[in-house]
Amino acid sequence: MNMESTKNAVFPKGVDPTRIKPYGDTMNDGQVQLSFSLPVPMGPEAREAARRIAGRMGLKEPSIYHETDLGHGFSYFIVYGKCTHTIDFSAIVVPKIDMEVMGFHEIEHFMEKHFDRRIRVVGACTGSDAHTVGIDAIMDMKGYNGEYGLERYPTFETINMGSQVSNETLLARIVEFKADAVLVSQVVTQKDVHLSNLAELVDMVEAQGVRQDLLMICGGPRISHEVALELGFDAGFGPGTKPNHVAGYIAQELVRRRRS
């Protein structure tokens, strides 16, 4: 996960940052690849339907590169075509987490300097969501992608409640444990269930009167910091997050709050 802004990046030759478009072969050719299924049996008509749909999406010169009969009246296509739209990259503003990325030892040193007790963190994957791999990657002792999980940090005291934890059960544990931070994982996003689930937890934490003492952090493959802020969380972490990003954020944010 790169938290650094790329606003001042040096762009390859021939690239106008105010008019960015995809490329495949030569710069600015607009070439993109698209895959989709159609609920029609494979055949010449399905092929032509796929080509026309890509054209309707705004792709110029759409051509079918791969096709598969999915059976039972369904077909699958990979289509190449040229995108004609451009984006002003220089006008993009993405909210980012305000923190310095630190390593395990640096975080431990920082924590020992600023706290005379262990910081309590409770984590869970909530609602009906059974995907534990994400929250385990952040919390498990063994760690993830070359970084130890929060359980490995002597300065953190953690509880990983696992998956399919109801917001009621999580809130009860937050209160009982006097948690400094809560980590909520949401992987399933069908029908925007993650949004209602996360918003409900914020409401419940506020109603319980513990919001001001709790750092609320959510994460998942389709979570961004922007979405997290909109839902009332303090921070959101997406794909590529490493445990030290989260540990470092908690440490720095708790110190920042104590100062303000």
Interface residues with ligand B12 (CB under 6 A) are 128-135, 137-138, 144, 183-185, 187-190, 217-221, 237-241, 246
Annotated catalytic residue, options 7, 60, 142, 178:
142
Residue carrying structure tokens 């359980």 = 151
Instruction: State the DSSP code for 10.
Output: P
Nearer to ligand B12, 110 or 237 (CB): 237
Nearer to ligand B12, 103 or 221 (CB): 221
| CB of 235 vs ligand B12, minimal distance in Å | 8
Alpha helices (H) in the chain, listed in sequence order: 44-56, 104-114, 133-139, 167-177, 193-208, 225-231, 243-259
Nearer to ligand B12, 76 or 89 (CB): 76
* Residue nearest ligand B12 by beta-carbon distance: 219
What is the torsion angle, in degrees rounded to the nearest 10, for the CA atoms of residue 13, residue 18, residue 19 and residue 24?
40
What backbone phi and psi angles, to 5 degrees, belong to 49?
A: -60, -45
| CB of 172 vs ligand B12, minimal distance in Å | 19
Q: Compute the distance between CA of residue 31 and CA of residue 134 in angstroms, rounded to an integer.
A: 33
| CB of 8 vs ligand B12, minimal distance in Å | 26
| CB of 87 vs ligand B12, minimal distance in Å | 24
Nearer to ligand B12, 46 or 179 (CB): 179
The end-to-end CA distance of the chain, in Å, is 28
Instruction: Note if 142 is an active site residue.
Output: yes
Catalytic positions: 142
